[in-house]
Amino acid sequence: MQFVKMHGIGNDYVYVNCLEQTIDDPAALAPVIADRHFGVGGDGLIVLLPAQSSVGAHVRMRMFNADGSEAEMCGNGIRCLCKLAHDDGVCTANPMRVQTGRGVLELTYTCDDARKIERVTVDMGEPILAPADIPVDLPGRTRVVNEPLPKLDDAGSGDWMAACGLDKRMTCVSMGNPHAVLYCRAVARVPLAAVGPVLENHSIFPRRINVHFVEVASAGEVIMRTWERGSGITLACGTGASAVCVAGVLTRRTQRQLLAHLPGGDLELHWRERDDHVLMTGPAVEVFRGDWPSP
């Protein structure tokens, strides 16, 4: 099986063109091929597929986390899937429409001198804010904005909250997949490996959740760290950065146009006022290609 290793600001996945080959069980393959010691290595597996004829898309994306669970969307991953489809001649439409678990998303892109995609803007659509649709199990709320943080019995001593200057309130947003956004004074001081899995699997999140800690540098700039559902600590999260842009506006911390600094690089976000769509812009990079042996 031929594969391509790609990344969007360090959020790396193994990509397989399934218009030309077949994977019988991608959920089972994902944790094996994404293993950084015994496999190719990555945050998961993403497959390029033909779009269903009824949806009006050019291609389809399915995304599997490193634990084999399937996610609805991946913001960094969809930029790289667009690059794979374009650079391999599958689809050169600009804009390109990609079918995802979030629905059909529209992507525009720019190319380098070799006519290879280097930068992609994704129309992420409107954020989902109703608790039942995120989902968050908090009956009676119309939105989860500055909601008191639930009790974290397994997250160790509360000293870390004081150390990082945590605001003990969360804002939850879905960009097709669920996100919890928390603000603090120093993201570097958050013990993410300990706190992330506790929040991800908390009982109020029936489908688990992606967790982001955010440090506000200015009204137009933030620093963030991410614990991704099913993958753990990652260098970047495009849907998460989009959720952070929305959360910043809802909590009056940041503006609708935002530069997000993530451990792997920067993303540009814009929660557009005229239609409430979130636009996310960033690079897409091919790392290498290879062959995965048949079982």
CB atoms within 10 A of CB 126: 14
Query: Among residues 74, 82, 91, 172, which one is catalytic?
Result: 74
Verify whether residue 172 is a known catalytic residue.
no
Nearest by Cα to 29 from 52, 62, 73: 62
Number of helices (H), then strands (E), belonging to the chain: the values are: 5, 18
Query: Among residues 82, 164, 184, 237, which one is catalytic?
Result: 237
Verify whether residue 184 is a known catalytic residue.
no
CA angle 146/101/90 to nearest 5° reads 130
DSSP letter at 121 equals E
Cα 158 off chain centre by:
28
CB atoms within 10 A of CB 100: 22
265-271/278-283 β-pairing = antiparallel
C-alpha–C-alpha distance, residues 176 and 148, integer Å: 23
Instruction: Give catalytic residue positions.
Output: 74, 237
